[in-house]
Amino acid sequence: MKKEHTVSYSTEQITTMLARGADKSDFVAADAMAESQLAAAIAGDAEEAGLEWDWAKLSSALPQAKAVLNMRVDQAVLDFFRQQGKGYQTRINAVLRAYVTQMQRRTGRR
């Protein structure tokens, strides 16, 4: 996504927008689509051109409180995320969140 399209909102602002129906996303309709239908809809969106996501493993949710963590990762992994620029820690968290969600679905545990 181009930088000029990026907008930041607080959790409170997002909650208010959702409550008044200002969200442009129809997650119920997206959840009802077969994976092939979803892939076709994404492929037809110019802003999504070239992106490859496994939508079955992704989810959207309001931000949760963060915990401070000091952990060791491979230097190559850290370099990969840092090379993507500002927000790399948020992206690392998103990858970990997607993994946790997928594992919870597989095991039925929360």
Each residue of 15-36: pLDDT tens digit? Answer: 888 788 777 777 778 888 888 8
Rounded Cα distance, 78 and 75, in Å: 5
Whether residue 104 sits in one domain with residue 72: yes
Whether residue 4 sits in one domain with residue 48: yes
User: Is the CB of residue 1 less than 8 Å from the CB of residue 53?
Assistant: no
Residue 74 belongs to a domain: yes
Give the pLDDT score at 55. Answer: 61
User: Is the CB of residue 88 less than 8 Å from the CB of residue 79?
Assistant: no
Whether residue 38 sits in one domain with residue 1: yes
Give the pLDDT score at 1. Answer: 43
Residue 87 belongs to a domain: yes
Residue 59 belongs to a domain: no
* The two structure tokens encoding residue 26: 């129809």
pTM for this structure? 0.42
Residue 85 belongs to a domain: yes
Under the banding of pLDDT at 50, 70 and 90, the label for residue 51 is: low
> By residue range, what is the domain housing residue 82?
64-110
pLDDT tens per residue, range 79-98 = 999 998 888 898 999 899 89
